[in-house]
Structure 1
Amino acid sequence: MLAFIRYSVPPARTEEFLAGAHEIADTLAGQPGHLRGRVARSVDEPELWAVVSEWEGAGFYRRALGAARMAMYPLMTLMINESSAFEDVDRP
């Protein structure tokens, strides 16, 4: 299962965002079911960022969000409100 938490970050807040995003990624990495994760930036829209993570399943990800809530709180105003969990789909 993949998770994408996207953010719209004004240039003046990039440094603040990066510190917070890495804290979120580190907190998620310490949770059960976490496989890998990273902080990424759009090559086409430099104000668009994402905390991307891969999980053993959606339940692990949803429980991990509770653990990361305090780390996520300072960046909530930058978060894009959209679905963040995506399942792998096998080919037909």
Structure 2
Amino acid sequence: MIVVSRFRVPECDAGEFRAALAQAHAALAACPGYAGGTVGRNVDDPTLWVLTTTWENVGSYRRALSSYDVKLRAVAVLSRALDEPSAYEVVTGDTVLNTGSPRSLG
């Protein structure tokens, strides 16, 4: 599973944001199920940042978000992400794709 979180950050805040995002990434990386990740900044628009992480499965990612250390060190910066879907399944030739359906019938 891949998580792509994009952020719009004014250039004057870039240094502080970079440090906070690195701390958030480190907190996530310490969680079980974390498989890799990177922090990046757009080459054409320096106000656009990204944090990508890869996880063994969606459950690992969701448990990571619930961990005390991630809540303490990462949630504040992760809450600044652009409001868009961020979790993606890895697709290979034989992947049975997830289907979109409501989580409840209510």
TM over 0.5: yes
State the identity as a percent: 35
Q: Distance in 1 between matches of 2:33 and 2:52?
A: 14
Residues 1:14 and 2:14 aligned together: yes
Instruction: Give the secondary structure class of the aligned counterpart of 1:78.
Output: coil
Between Structure 1 and Structure 2, which shows a larger proportion of helix residues? 1
1:84 counterpart residue number: 86
The equivalent residue for 1:45 is 45
Point out 4+ residue stretches in structure 1 off by more than 4 angstroms.
none
CA offset digits 1:30-75 (Å, max 9, x no partner): 0000011111111122111011111101110111112222223433
Instruction: Report the Cα distance in structure 1 between the residues aligned to 2:5 and 2:66, rounded to whole angstroms.
Output: 14
Give distance in 1, aligned partners of 2:32 and 2:44.
Answer: 33
Q: Distance in 1 between matches of 2:84 and 2:93?
A: 25
Question: Residues 77 and 12 from structure 1, CA distance in 2 versus in 1: closer, same or farther, beyond 3 angstroms?
Answer: farther
Select the structure of larger CA radius of gyration.
2
Task: Note the aligned Cα RMSD (angstroms).
Answer: 1.6
Secondary structure of the residue that 2:66 maps to in structure 1?
A: helix
Question: Aligned AA for 2:5?
Answer: I
Task: Give the number of aligned pairs.
Answer: 92
Structure 1 gaps, min length 5: none
Q: Which runs of 5+ in 2 are unaligned?
A: 95-106
Alpha-carbon distance, 1:91 to partner: 2.6
Higher relative contact order structure (alpha carbons within 8 Å, sequence separation ≥ 6): 1
SS for the counterpart of 2:74 is helix
